[in-house]
Amino acid sequence: MKKSSLFIGAVFLFLSVVLLTPSPAAAQKIGFVNVEEVLITSAAGKAANEDLKKIFEKNKQAIENREKELQRLKDELEKQRPVLKEKVLRDKEASYQKKFRDYQDLVKDANDEMQARRQELFAKNIPEILKIINAIGEKEQYTAIIDTSTVPVAYFNKDQNLTKRVLEEFDKAYGAKK
């Protein structure tokens, strides 16, 4: 919480300095881009999303099968509870608890795998997207280009939104690498 407050404070300080510092030549030029939108809607993002869907479906099926098995074991245990001896009941309950922990591990592993794949997408594509943003910034002499997916911006002129342009250039670059 403290880090995010410091980060937001630093961003506002940066923006204050940039916006309030007079420029002898002309007004400061600031652009805005939503990097997360570029990642998700780009050709690379859509391809990665399809891979994630396949992994999700595979994991979903395994999880559903485990849930059915657990429900069957629980129902069986409840039906047999009145007639089972104490030791046999404890053994069956312990077996059920072990299978339930295995199920929880399966769900956690599936979630971790999805998160890792998503992070791979970000790690692989963010540097490429940043190169494109930097090229636009240098070519068109922007003072700053702010990522609206990481920094909350209450208002900005939509004419300065570079997201669509960055997306198009990223798709061109991604298509060339295929």
Which of 174 and 67 is assigned the larger pLDDT?
67
Domain ranges of the chain: 24-177
Average pLDDT, the chain: 85
End-to-end alpha-carbon separation of the chain, Å? 41
**pTM of the model as a whole:** 0.63
Percentage of the chain lying above the pLDDT 70 cut: 83
Say which residue, 89 or 12, is predicted with more confidence: 89
If we measure between CA atoms, which residue out of 68, 177, 71, 67 comes closest to residue 124? 177
Determine phi and psi for 151, rounding to 5 degrees. Answer: -120, 120
Find all residues with CB under 8 Å of 37, minimum gap 6, and list them. 149, 163, 167
> Which tens digit of pLDDT belongs to each residue from 132-170?
999 999 999 999 999 999 988 899 888 999 999 999 999
Please answer whether residues 87 and 127 qualify as being in contact, where contact means their C-beta atoms are separated by less than 8 angstroms. Answer: no
